Amino acid sequence: MKKAISMCLCFAVLLSVCGILAAPASAEATPSVIETFYEGEDGAFFYPFDKEMSLGSRLAMMGDNQISYYKGDSDNTSGMLRIQNYNSINRGVTGVKLIPGQKIRITGEVKFLNSDKLSPKVGVRLVFIGDSTVPVYKDSACTQPLMNGEEQVTLKDKYFGVSIDKDIYGNNMVDGEWHTFEYIYEYDGTFATSKIDNVTYTNYIKDTVTSQMYFRPMGNSPLGKPAGSPSENFTQEYIDACSAAGTTPYVDCLLDNFSVMPYSGMLTDGGNVGYEPNIYNGFEDDGWKKDPNKTNFSWNNINSNAALSDNVPEALAETSKSSIELTYKGAPRDAFVDVGFSAAGPAYKMWFNRAYKISLWAKGSEALAQFGAANNKPLVFIPDRSGDKRIDRTRSKWLQSPTKEIITDDWQKYEFIWYEDMEYAIGRKSDTDFTTRFTIRTYAVPVGTENNLTATIESGEAVQYIYSYQNSAGETVYAGLEDFKLYIDDVTIAPLDIVYNGDMAVKDAADNDTGVIYYKNGKKSSDYCAPGGDTISANLFHAGTIAADATFQQETGLEKKNVLKVAANETPYQSVEIDQGKTYKISFWAKAESGSENMPLYAMMDRSIKGDVLDSTVTDKNPNGLLGYGNSTGITGDIPFYLYSGTQQNVFHDYNKFEITADGETVVSDDYFARMKSVNGYESQAEPTAWNYQYFNGDSWVNTNEEAKTPGSWTLAGGWTKYECFYHWDYQGGHYRMPRLSFVSDGAYAIADIHVEEAVPYQFGIENVSVSGDKEVFEIGDELSVTYDFVSSGAQTANEGKTQVLILAGTEAEGFYPVMAGTAEGAFSFRVPSGAIGKQLKIQITPVSYDYIYAQKPFEISLTGTAKSKLSATLKSFDKSAATWQLWATYGESKPITADVVTALYDADNRLLKTEVAKAEVKNGDDGLVASGTVFADNAVLGKVFVLDSLDTLKPVCSSEKADLSGGSERDSIKVLAIGNSYAEDATNYFYQLAEDAGVKDITVAYLYIGGCTLETHVKNLGGNLPAYRYTKNNTGSWKSETEKTMLYGIVDEDWDVITLQQQSANSGIASSFEPNLTKLIDYVQKNKTNPSCEIYWHMTWAYQEGYAGLSAFGNDQMTMYERISQNVQEIVLPKEDIANIIPVGTAVQNARTSHLGDTLNRDGIHLTLDLGRYLAGLVWVKKLTNRSIDNIDYVPANYAASFGGDVLPLLKEAANNAVWEPFAVTNSSFTK
């Protein structure tokens, strides 16, 4: 006895020295805003996989048995996914949004573990899966449903894939090392194809598509399917070895930091403002054949051979080292030599209503020059709209535009202006024709495929030739095909100002020293004005007269000489390339003629098309009965822009005549007309969303479909006055009409220096970034708060949207990687994540405007601190007089530590009753719960836990904790509702009778049942308040059931004292299956419970019986499943503030399995036996929920009385008591025989 007292006194002294007798409780920190994973409303996501329970709700790929959570790679100690891919992976990330015209950036890190067995062709495959609810159309305006019989086609079973075979540095990824991959994808409004009656259609989609994106590390096919072509994935040696062993080859890889984020081309400094690239080729190296960012260069390789030549213009001797040399091979007809440039996308093609300056250096061989001069074969420019499915057919597919320039045998620089004036045209992004080819050609070569003529020269030798001529010395030259050569260097095609001749520089024909090729409104041929003979440029405003006016320069100080004189009621205009979604600055000078002072002046965007109005009569050409495409009404008014679909060659039509001339042509409904008139599918819109006219009246743009003008502040002045405004319109349809920029006034005036310049509507960024909490050393879990100012400038004010935040960890030497992500508006906070141990932190803030424009360059700030490991302890009471401690760690040091965990229990007079010391080892890579235990002492009402470096040093390694052990008072009444499945039915079956036998007077027990129901299913049922449950209740000693009830029905039926939750059995051991549904379910119960004092308990379920097939997910080991369940309850469930306690049935079952009963408590491998199993669960529920002793219960179910003979009843009570006292560890039974 003295020895025991002495030991107790020693511990008392020790505890006093450590501060154990008066240790304060630790404070709760504010929840963070930026989490370790991110799932955005815009479809974005970021998964660093740091914790298995924090994988997000959209990561459906975790349901594939080829994919598992993984930790322990030697090069990456954080969590990741391991993918052992032997078959097609048909799960991915859900909710990925594809928005027309917007780009997404897909990134991740991969490591192929069995790279020695893989083909270099193996890489990352991303497959986008369609949604069966999304309807498909066969035209880009989405007015013609794609029908299969009588049903409209949907995106059900539609998919497309992309392949990534190289990392961001261009390296092969199959080498056993970590690689970062990236893919930028822009959704264009089409989603795969459909085949109906052997005809393949492009699937056009009206709105955003919400897709599931599969991740497949397999195969050379974009879909990444392994079947059928194993050689695309594996080495032959590995294939042979698997064949001999009868096994299936598989790819073994790791995936980390997987993300999809919006991607924008706008820069914070203003950005690239439109279609301004030069189409250029200097032929300086082997890259002359292809510039992937702009154009593909090509030539007619049937007629000629192409090669680089060192023959260059003398004027370019210092800048050019080579030109392109084309050598004629001959042609049976259409003899020519040419070079061409095919635009890579809509931003690079030459388009209507924009002047382009074309310049090139060219020379011919003597034979080519002689033939061209003798046969008047000038240089020809051919803009070739090469797409056979273009919808705007107002001009010929091929247009031969000859100049008057004959190529000589000396280098000459040729310059001319190309201008295609189309008063009625759609924007470059509205057409399906994205490949415009620009060809520079000469016909200065003879027809023929061989040198089929023979001549005898002075030497008597016979020579073969195809063409002869007299050279400058008077000699006869016999030229073969190979003597006809064309040399070209420094080709440039550059767009000029949006308003052509807006400075009025060309007043007379002689004012332009550049040739002009002019093409007007769908004519079959072009006009050419030689230098000094420009009769076109001065007349492009269609009204008024360009004249010299000295007052303009005198009053404005500008070096301009000419102005446009406009008579009263004249309307000068010019069709201009202004596209949707862009901002333009319009500026000009104007001066009233005498008598017109103070008269209104308007700038106008005119998109009206007038013609013979057609009705909606159904005809062969108008099978869908569209208004504007039927029979003539004889009325002149607004008409559609007539557009067509179907493959064609050189068909062209008038814009204002509805005609189908080619086999297979069909109408494409003009959505601009439909939106303007609220017809053809737009009847439900509240007001028009397209207009004939838009006026700027000096104050604002006014939209109208009538020509009436509203008063404004722009008026004509007696002196030269500058007028400026900005124009921006985000047209939401598919067929944006380019406008005619017009100037409208009833007065007479002069106008000059007209400019339309594309402008950034605003520039934005962030300033005044402040980080609170930055210090030299962080602990994992420390909270940092960040504030900043969103600022903008420019033509418009930009407000902040969902600004993107990334937290990165790393070192300058090793680089930085993302560990957290989220969005913010002006401020955010985050906790230092576990993935940052030993690393520095960087914060990247990418500002986003309210209209979802993302700055391309993020603001980045580096924090001064380095993150260190963290240990923490918790102490909770799950039963009266029992204290359960837990040691948590996020540890990344190479040297493990061993801590002494001291638990002390005290009575009501603060006297020390018991101490217990446990050793806990913490090692590198630990992240979460590392050790736990339970200490019990009769009459204990207070517990404390301390974690010490050792009992020798008494140095604390983390804060101490304390807990109240007094427990609740014994309940005389109880109302409990279980939300669950068949496990809840098992556990509550005997609750009423057992509680009654324990002394409880008033009992109500009920459960909401769906067989096999998971947390996820429960939450889905909440969305529509679905009547999916069987509600069973017992308040009399017998059960009564109601079907087709909602969860809400059960929750509000009684003022419950306790509501229990649980996870489905198979998922109870899978950490990733809990969130976010657990939090959502808890919130729902808290919101709807009718008793404010109602507590939420967690029903901890049991492991399967040995031999049951479901144990395969746990290595076919029952104990592994139990330990996973226990760990998940401790790490995921108990940290929830709203979870008051647990009901450890799973531990009680495992305790009883150590007795002579053995593994006999399941009736089918999973459910509890109807006698002992259900009885044991009921004992645990009664002890936990009523705070009453179960020791004196003697009730046994009459129909199973034989099962309770001998020591069975005390055995079950012991298992239940031990589980409540020690809920997370198995206590061996004393009843073993």
Stretch 239-249: mean pLDDT, rounded? 88
- Order of all β-strands in the sheet with 870-879: 870-879, 882-890, 927-936
What percentage of the chain reaches a pLDDT higher than 70?
88
- Pick from 867, 868, 782: which is nearest to 829 by CA? 782
pLDDT band at 13 (very low <50, low <70, confident <90, very high): very low
pLDDT at 1007: 98
Two structure tokens written together for 910: 């603060």
Whole-number Å distance between alpha carbons of 1085 and 976: 13
CA gap 114, 219 in Å, rounded? 15
The owner of tokens 């906070």 is: 829
- Comparing 235-249, 1193-1207, 1213-1227, the range with the smallest average pLDDT is 235-249
Domain 973-1221 architecture:
3-Layer(aba) Sandwich (3.40)
The C-alpha atoms of residue 322 and residue 283 are separated, in whole angstroms, by: 6
Torsion of CA 1042, 1046, 1051, 1053, to 10 degrees: -40
| d(C-alpha 308, C-alpha 297), whole Å | 13
Q: Which residue has the higher pLDDT, 441 or 341?
A: 441
Q: What is the pLDDT of residue 294?
A: 44
Gyration radius of the chain's alpha carbons: 40
* 744 touches 601 (CB < 8 A): yes
Pick the CATH number of 541-607+692-759 from 3.40.50.720, 3.40.50.850, 2.60.120.260, 2.120.10.30: 2.60.120.260
DSSP secondary structure letter of residue 1015 = H
Least confident stretch, 222-226, 527-531, 551-555: 222-226
- Confidence check: pLDDT of 223 > 70: no
Predicted confidence band of residue 55 (pLDDT cuts 50, 70, 90):
confident
State residue 373's pLDDT score: 96
E strand or H helix that includes residue 583: strand 583-592
Would you state the pLDDT for residue 280?
61
Task: Summarize the confidence of residues 878-904 as an average pLDDT.
Answer: 84
DSSP of 740-809: EEEEE-SS-EEEEEEEEEEE-S-EEEEEEEEEES--SEEETT-EEEEEEEEEEESSSPPPB--EEEEEEE
Most confident of 36-40, 310-314, 429-433, 896-900: 310-314
Q: How confident is the model at residue 8 (pLDDT cuts 50, 70, 90)?
A: very low
Query: What are the residue ranges of CATH 2.60.40.10 in the chain?
Result: 2-28+870-964, 763-867
What pLDDT shows up at residue 903? 92
Q: d(Cα 856, Cα 268) in Å, to the nearest integer?
A: 7
DSSP 8-state symbol, 388? T
Kindly indicate the confidence band of residue 24, based on its pLDDT and cuts at 50, 70 and 90. very low
> Where would I find the H helices in 140-281?
236-245
Q: What is the mean pLDDT of residues 842-859?
A: 76
In the predicted model, what is the mean pLDDT of residues 538-565? 94
Cα angle 31, 33, 39; round to 5 = 125
- For residue 233, how many other CB atoms are within 10 A of its CB? 25
Confidence of residue 1011 (pLDDT cuts 50, 70, 90): very high
pLDDT at 1010: 96
- Residues 471-481: pLDDT tens digits? 999 999 999 99
Range among 259-263, 632-636, 709-713 rated most confident: 632-636
Contacts of 825 (CB under 8 A, 6+ apart): 790, 800, 801, 802, 803
Q: Where are the beta strands (DSSP E) in 794-911?
A: 803-811, 815-824, 827-831, 840-846, 859-868, 870-879, 882-890, 897-906
Whose CA is closest to 1047, among 1068, 1029, 1060, 1067?
Answer: 1029
Distance CA 395, CA 397 (A): 6
Q: Is the full-model pTM beyond 0.75?
A: no
The pLDDT of residue 708 is 80
pLDDT at residue number 293: 40
More confident residue, 458 or 265: 458
3-class secondary structure, 914: strand
> Quick one: average pLDDT of 830-848?
83
Share above pLDDT 90 across residues of the chain, in percent, rounded to a whole number = 44
List the one residue out of 620, 615, 617, 609 whose CA is nearest residue 633: 615
Average pLDDT of the residues in 144-150: 90
Residue 461 contacts by C-beta under 8 Å, 6 or more apart in sequence?
Answer: none
- Give the architecture-level CATH label for domain 38-263: Sandwich (2.60)
* Sheet of strand 961-964: strand arrangement: 912-922, 897-906, 942-948, 961-964
Per-residue confidence (pLDDT) for residue 33, from 0 to 100? 54
CATH of 2-28+870-964, one of 3.40.50.300, 2.60.40.10, 3.30.420.40, 3.40.640.10: 2.60.40.10
> E strand or H helix at 294, and its extent?
none
Kindly state the tokens that stand for 458. 């002075």
Element housing 1147 (H / E): helix 1145-1152
pLDDT score of 32: 36
- Report DSSP state, residue 510: G
pLDDT at residue 1105 greater than cutoff 80: yes
pLDDT of amino acid 20? 35
- CA dist list (Å): 1177 to 1037, 1113, 1203: 18, 25, 16
Please, which pLDDT band fits residue 540 given cuts at 50, 70 and 90? very high
pLDDT digits (tens, 9 = 90+) for 633-685: 999 999 999 988 876 666 678 888 888 877 778 888 999 999 999 999 899 88
- Cβ–Cβ < 8 Å for 130, 158: yes
At residue 299, the pLDDT reads 67
State mean pLDDT over 503-521.
Answer: 90
The residue assigned the tokens 């490591």 is 111
Please identify which residue in the block is written with the tokens 């190479």: 894
CA atoms within 13 A on the CB side of 587: 11
Nearest of 734, 632, 689 to residue 392 by alpha carbon: 734
* CB neighbour burial string for 1054-1069, b if at least 16 within 10 angstroms, e if fewer: bebbbbbbbbbbbbbb
- Per-residue pLDDT, 1232: 92
pLDDT of residue 268: 31
Given the candidates 2.60.120.200, 3.40.710.10, 2.60.40.10, 3.40.630.40, the CATH classification of the domain at 763-867 is: 2.60.40.10
Question: Which two structure tokens, joined as six digits, stand for 84?
Answer: 């052992």
Model confidence band, residue 1129 (pLDDT cutoffs 50, 70, 90): very high
Which stretch of 224-228, 898-902, 918-922 has the lowest confidence by average pLDDT? Answer: 224-228
The band of 603, judged by pLDDT with boundaries at 50, 70 and 90, is: very high
Q: Which CATH class is domain 279-450+482-505?
A: mainly beta
The sign of the dihedral angle between the CA atoms of 551, 557, 561, 567 is negative
Average model confidence (pLDDT) for the chain? Answer: 85
Please check the confidence at residue 387 and state whether its pLDDT lies above 70.
no
Q: What is the pLDDT of residue 532?
A: 93
pLDDT at 433 over 80: no
Lowest pLDDT segment from 284-288, 1039-1043, 1146-1150: 284-288
Q: What is the pLDDT of residue 46?
A: 87
1222 in helix, strand or coil? coil
What's the pLDDT at 11? 36
pLDDT at 1099 over 80: yes
Among 142-156, 409-423, 868-882, where is mean pLDDT lowest?
Answer: 868-882
- Whether 794 shows a pLDDT value over 80: the answer reads no
Q: What integer is the mean pLDDT of 366-379?
A: 96
What is the token pair recorded at 1142? 């647990």
Q: What is the mean pLDDT of residues 1008-1023?
A: 93
Confidence of residue 286 (pLDDT cuts 50, 70, 90): low
| Per-residue model confidence (pLDDT) at position 136 | 92
Provide CATH 3.40.50.1110 ranges for the chain.
973-1221
Question: Per-residue pLDDT averaged across 534-557, rounded?
Answer: 94
- Given this model, what pLDDT does residue 1047 score? 96
Half-sphere exposure in the Cβ direction for 136 (13 Å, CA): 25
Higher pLDDT, 227 or 112: 112
In angstroms, the first-to-last Cα distance of the chain is: 35
Q: Is the pLDDT of residue 267 over 60?
A: no
List, in sequence order, every residue forming a beta bridge with 957; answer none if it has no partner: none
